Amino acid sequence: MDLRLNSEFGALKAVLMHRPGREIDRLTPYNKELLLFEDVPYLEAMQREHDYFTQVIKQATGARIYGLHELLMETISDEKVLFKLMEEALSVSRLSHLAESMVARLSTSECSTALMAGIKVHELKRKIPKLPVVDLMDFAYIIPPSPNLYFQRDTAALTPGGMIFSSMKMEGRQREANIVRAIFENHPEFMDNNHKIYPIDGHNSPACIEGGDVIIISDKAVAIGNSERTDEKAIYHVAKSLLAEGTVERVYEVHLPKQRNFMHLDTVFTILDENLVLTYPDALEAVLKTSLYTLKSSDNDQVHIKRTVLKESLLTVLEKEIPYLEIIQLGNGNKEYALREQWFDGANVFAIGPRRVVSYSRNKYTNRSLRDAGVEVLEIPSSELSRGLGGPRCMTMPLSRSSI
Ligand SMILES: NC(=[NH2+])NCCC[C@H](N)C(=O)O
């Protein structure tokens, strides 16, 4: 499987997802904000909703669904990979020296749980009684939990030119990208097929970028949100690699207001077909400053790119890139519904094929506008899933689609 994608809507053939697990039960009223949740979810109900989502995708597309947990277990059966991941995970609490004994004393399954759901001092003491951490409180985390893992969109992004491995902005998500990168770089099914675009070799603390900010406009153009989560510097480096690679000819940098409801570019628009876009009108019509990166010159190792600040709205940019653009507005044209439904990721539908989407059933006005425009809408429940403030697109990392 060549890990590149040239559209947001080609018929889905393979996707990576994560069924919420024990990491969700780590959320409390006190840590939920740090861990980027609006509320404390009920895990079993959340799993039922997620299973329903997975079933809908399977039945509608026959796509192969990869589960993060299974892939992680297969990847860390290689002890060297496990050791490195464990060391990285422990470095947050400056306890990397415990990696050796953890890998030696814990089973592969216990290690994968520790990597995803975190581990507390007293939990590890049960497994390693003489743990040398006397000065730590029993309830402190040795490895912090990663409850946002079910938002697989954000940990990496596939583009027409190759793969971006994210560098996550928020403390509560930083470890997720390490897990996913370890899988793509070491799992036999993927390791030889990923052409890495970012981070640049030798950059040890790369500027931040998250997958939800990356939208493929066509096989020649990619848009990246300069947002709460993605930095200008990362966009510059991604643009340079993509343009040097040669498939993509234009990279747009779209400035989003740095606020939670616009955390990623995919919270304001998604592409559903060759000329069909779903948008949150308030964001799109605002002149979100947009810059365009193109290739100036490239000979051998020397690549120079040019950045032009555009004086037009994102809407105008989309109209230029997508001929005969048709726009569907969130909330069926009603501002108040649009506001409510944008909060619950109405714009964040997941396209499983041209004009075929999975959408939260709660976003009823948006779903109505989609159907009126001839889009097939497969609805899923979201009472618990939505508590993490992400929608169907956020929960999926497509790995293969029919090319357009
Ligand atoms: N692609 C997206 N819009 N992802 C939404 C992620 C939500 C997650 N709780 C966060 O704050 O990071």
Q: Round to whole Å and give the CA distance between 253 and 116.
A: 32
Q: Round to whole Å and give the CA distance between 75 and 71.
A: 6
Pocket test for ligand 1, best of 394, 395, 396, 397 (most atoms within 8 A of CB): 394
Query: From ligand 1's centre to the CA of 330, what distance in Å?
Result: 19
Q: Round to whole Å and give the CA distance between 315 and 311.
A: 12
Asked about 111 being catalytic, the answer comes back as: no
Token look-up 């810059």 returns: 291
Query: What is the atom index within ligand 1 of the atom nearest the CA of 260?
Result: 11
CA 246 from centroid of its chain's CA atoms: 24
Write down the catalytic residue from 208, 394, 395, 397: 394
What residues flank ligand 1, with Cβ below 6 Å? 36, 148, 151, 153-154, 173, 212, 263-264, 266-267, 348, 388-390, 394
Query: From ligand 1's centre to the CA of 45, what distance in Å?
Result: 20
Query: What is the atom index within ligand 1 of the atom nearest the CA of 267?
Result: 3
Q: How far is CA 163 from CA 184, 196, 273, in A?
A: 10, 5, 22
Per-residue pLDDT of the chain (404 residues; tens, 9 = 90+): 899 999 999 999 999 999 999 999 999 999 999 999 999 999 999 999 999 999 999 999 999 999 999 999 999 999 999 999 999 999 999 999 999 999 999 999 999 999 999 999 999 999 998 887 767 888 999 999 999 999 999 999 999 999 999 999 999 999 999 999 999 999 999 999 989 999 999 888 899 999 999 999 999 999 999 999 999 999 999 999 999 999 999 999 999 988 888 899 999 999 999 999 999 987 766 657 899 999 999 887 799 999 999 988 888 889 999 999 999 999 998 999 999 999 999 999 999 999 999 999 999 999 999 999 999 999 999 999 999 999 999 999 999 999 98
DSSP SS3 for 209 = strand
Question: Global pTM?
Answer: 0.96
Short-list 259, 284, 266, CA closest to 393: 266
Both tokens assigned to 175: 């470890």
Pocket test for ligand 1, best of 8, 154, 360 (most atoms within 8 A of CB): 154
Q: Round to whole Å and give the CA distance between 11 and 150.
A: 22
Query: From ligand 1's centre to the CA of 390, what distance in Å?
Result: 5
Query: From ligand 1's centre to the CA of 250, what distance in Å?
Result: 26
Closest residue by CA, ligand 1 atom 10: 36
Query: From ligand 1's centre to the CA of 263, what distance in Å?
Result: 7
